[in-house]
Amino acid sequence: MNAFDPPGFLSDLDANGRAAWSEWISDQIDKAAAGQPQSFDFDAPRPRFFNALSTSPDADAVEKDITWTAFPKIVALDSATDQERWKTADGSRDVQDEYCEWSVTRAGGKIKSVMFTCEGPEYWEFLAATKPDVVLALYRKHIDPSVAAKELFGTDGSYLARNKWNSGTSRGAMHLIQDNNTLSAEIELAAGASNTRAPKGTLLTDAKELIDCGRYGQADRHSDPKIGSDVNTLARADADITLANPIGIYFAGLSTAGWKTPDQTDPASFWKIVRGTEAKPVRAVFEVPSDRNYLVGDITINGRPIEYGAQIADFITMKLTGLATRFGKSKHAPLAGCKRRSAKPTAAIVDVASTLGNRPTTR
């Protein structure tokens, strides 16, 4: 492999943008593999986590999809009823924290369409810095033809990720904006889970115990414990681990078991991938074609009409793809303790913007 491709093999970036993107991903992997030994004990380095640009996988390499449910688990835990959790999840993108965010369009009080995205904000920062005209064209294509450049960019030309068309749950969802839904978080999570742990002399294997000890994510999400557990299973097989190219979060699929349409059409046919590839989709829309005499709100799930986009999110599965190689050869002793803030003096904080020059950075 000569370079990391953009998520979903997207073709929006020019050659310079693609090169900068590959370099940024490579830097993120190297930093995640190194960890922060100056700041934390029992967490770094992460010797099993490797960069496929500098160290090629061996012939035994296998890719593994790691999947989880798109509906935010934290919302479900804090809700007494389905109605409450669906309403809450539809109310703010800031609670949609499973690397899937959505926006609902209604007509006559009924849901007409729901757009779903899992595109990381970092990619859009790169795209806006190198191809602002493409950013505008994509917003007009996928969100609304009336989108204006001044609504997407500040007076200094900087991209406004949380703009009027990408901040709520009714005007559109172009890419992820929830604080935890970033590609850098995905990379750090996989790297952090690549160390095995035996804080009391017994190797940890339980998903909750692993995430509580490794502190590489939030235990009350569907995504973080599942990603961590699956990665750690590969680590316990003494394998070297990385994320498969192109690195990103993707839709694994939509299950429509228990769904019924007024004309008996298979509701799965209304799920359309509109960005990315069929195997690596980053954007999807659920909408009934205009030639039908009904809307999404007329479809039922287990006998109940679809009143919230969150009802659909219940049936969406997300994924990332890990890559493991050199099974049985990556032998490293388990960490003897749980991740904790180090008592050692910490190094000065590096100004990321200055190290990357004019290249875009995440906030």
Domain boundaries, the chain: 7-355
Measured in whole angstroms, the distance separating CA 285 from the mean position of its chain's CA atoms is: 17
State how far the Cα of 23 lies from the Cα of 190, in Å rounded to an integer: 19
Say what percent of the chain tops pLDDT 90.
94
> Residue type at 246?
P
Handedness of CA 92, 93, 95, 98 (dihedral sign): positive
pLDDT band at 249 (very low <50, low <70, confident <90, very high): very high
Q: CA 138, CA 98: separation in Å to the nearest integer?
A: 24
pLDDT tens column, 75-132: 999 999 999 999 999 999 999 999 999 999 999 999 999 999 999 999 999 999 999 9
In eight-state DSSP terms, residue 341 is E
pLDDT digits (tens, 9 = 90+) for 319-357: 999 999 999 999 999 999 999 999 875 444 333 333 334
Q: What's the pLDDT tens digit per position in 29-83? A: 999 999 999 999 999 999 999 999 999 999 999 999 999 999 999 999 999 999 9
Predicted confidence at residue 343, as pLDDT, reads 83
User: 110-117 and 101-107: which strand pairing?
Assistant: antiparallel
Average pLDDT along the chain: 94
> Dihedral, CA atoms, 205, 208, 210, 211, nearest 10 degrees?
160
Extract the tokens encoding 126: 């790169």
Q: What pLDDT is stored for residue 347 in this prediction?
A: 45
pLDDT at 269 over 80: yes
User: Of 267, 317, 304, whose CA–CA distance to 287 is shortest?
Assistant: 267
pLDDT of 337 reads 97
Identity at 359, one-letter amino acid code: R
CA angle 47, 360, 46 (to 5 degrees): 5
Q: Considering all CA atoms of the chain, what is the largest pairwise distance in Å, rounded to the nearest integer? A: 67
* pLDDT above 70 as % of the chain: 94
Distance between CA atoms of 11 and 1, rounded to whole angstroms? 18
Bond into 45 cis (ω within 30):
yes
Q: What is the pTM of this model?
A: 0.93
Does the pLDDT of residue 292 top 90, yes or no? yes
Tokens of 232: 């750690």
Is the predicted pLDDT of residue 154 greater than 70, yes or no?
yes
